[in-house]
Amino acid sequence: MRLKRYADILIFALLLIAYPLIITDNYGLNVGIFALENIITVTGLNLLMGYAGQISLGHAGFVGLGAYISAILTATYHWNCWLAMITAFVLVGIVAFFVALPTLKLRGHYLAMATLGLGMILYIFFSQLVDITGGPSGFVGIPYMRFGSLTFSSYSTIYVVTAMITFVIIWLSKNLASFKAGRIFRAIHQDEEAVVALGVNTYHYKVLVFVVSAVFASIAGSLYAHTVIFISPASFGFKRSIQLVTMVMVGGMGNIWGGVTGAIFLTYLPEFLRIFEDYDIIVYGSLLILVIIFMPGGIAGAVEDIYGKFKNTGGREDR
């Protein structure tokens, strides 16, 4: 039973290992690293949105906060990058906690509004606190990640580090999704009052999942900062938040692998669409619309439906 439960995550590990063996050019590795960073954020967002049914429109803000805290602590204060990364996600977790505390007490879409506002405030901080963040023109001189005497400056080494962290994040998310917490998240999504009636403090669970999703975003942000070694506010604005939400929806809400698929698909898609040059955005938009119309359960939902038809069961049973 345990082995079966972890079959999918083992396949994922194999794919993570296979990718850099097949794709060895720097460009391919670079896009791969971005895909992994997106997977981390999107998986957290999927736990929040797809599982627990709470909407965040400001997750790019958490990615940015993680990135900037890591950048400032390592570049300006010469901290160890891992210590900086941990400090960043602890601080981001605390910020998320205090945002969640009042907003999740209320039913309704207060969280969406609060996170929208928070995302904007953070964006303003990133661009206006010029002395600390470098302002609109960005933060330069972020060091690469380092471990002992190893410096992860090549794409292949950054890929390895990012892949390992991604694997851990996916493993944790799978754990959350598979047991008690995951069931309670999904139940809250469907009927919060009915969950309360069973004796669950749903407020705790909602705050928890929000903090977890923010922490994941922060980790992705820290990794991003040490990958590109130059960050600017433009990467962490409202548009980015919407992109992250789109990745969850296109991939499949409430399915870990759905979110992963969505993150991969929408990271690579713009790269492929470059052949359309000026029209890429039109093709991109049209594809999104088609997916949303024809695959209401996202890519993962569609795959499960097809699989279900083959097996002659209803499909999408596990959701």
Partner 1 sequence: MGNSKILGAERIVKHFGGVKALDDVSLSISQEEVLGLIGPNGAGKTTLFNIISGFIKPDGGKVIFKGVDITSHPPHKIARMGMSRTFQNLRVFSEMSVIENIMVGADVLTSAGFFSNLFAFPSIWKSERESIEKAEYFLEEVGLQDFRNTPAGDLPFGKMRLVELARALVTEPELLLLDEIASGLNTSETLDLMELLFKVKEKHNLTILVVEHDMDFLMNLAERVVVLNFGRVIAEGSPDEIKKDPQVIAAYLGE
| Residues near partner 1, by CB under 8 A | 2, 172, 175-176, 179-181, 183-184, 186-187, 190-191, 193-202, 208, 314, 317, 319
Do 169 and 104 meet the contact criterion of CB atoms below 8 Å apart? Answer: no
> Based on CB atoms, which residue is closest to partner 1, 24 or 201?
201
> Based on CB atoms, which residue is closest to partner 1, 3 or 275?
3
> Based on CB atoms, which residue is closest to partner 1, 47 or 75?
47
Given phi > 0 = left and psi -120 to 50 = alpha, else beta, which region is 97?
Answer: alpha
Where is 146: in which H helix or E strand? strand 145-147
Torsion of CA 215, 220, 222, 223, to 10 degrees: 150
At 232 the three-state DSSP class reads coil
| Burial per residue of 49-79, b for 16 or more beta-carbon CB atoms within 10 angstroms, e otherwise | bbbbbbbbbbbbbbbbbbbbbbbbbbbeeeb
Phi and psi of 151, rounded to 5°? Answer: -115, 130
> Based on CB atoms, which residue is closest to partner 1, 96 or 225?
96
At 145 the three-state DSSP class reads strand
Phi and psi of 231, rounded to 5°? Answer: -125, 150
Nearest CA-CA partner of 55 in 100, 98, 88 = 100
Smallest gap, in angstroms, from Cβ of residue 14 to partner 1? 20
Smallest gap, in angstroms, from Cβ of residue 10 to partner 1? 14
At 230 the three-state DSSP class reads strand
> Based on CB atoms, which residue is closest to partner 1, 8 or 191?
191
> Based on CB atoms, which residue is closest to partner 1, 145 or 169?
169
Burial class (CB in 10 A: 0-12, 13-18, 19+), 13: middle
Smallest gap, in angstroms, from Cβ of residue 115 to partner 1? 22
Smallest gap, in angstroms, from Cβ of residue 189 to partner 1? 8
CA dist., res. 122 & res. 68, Å (int):
11
> Based on CB atoms, which residue is closest to partner 1, 31 or 181?
181
Instruction: Look at the alpha carbons of 175, 177, 182, 188 in this order and tell me if their dihedral is positive or negative.
Output: positive
At 140 the three-state DSSP class reads strand
| Burial per residue of 239-268, b for 16 or more beta-carbon CB atoms within 10 angstroms, e otherwise | ebbebbbbbbbbbbbbbbbbbbbbbbbbbe
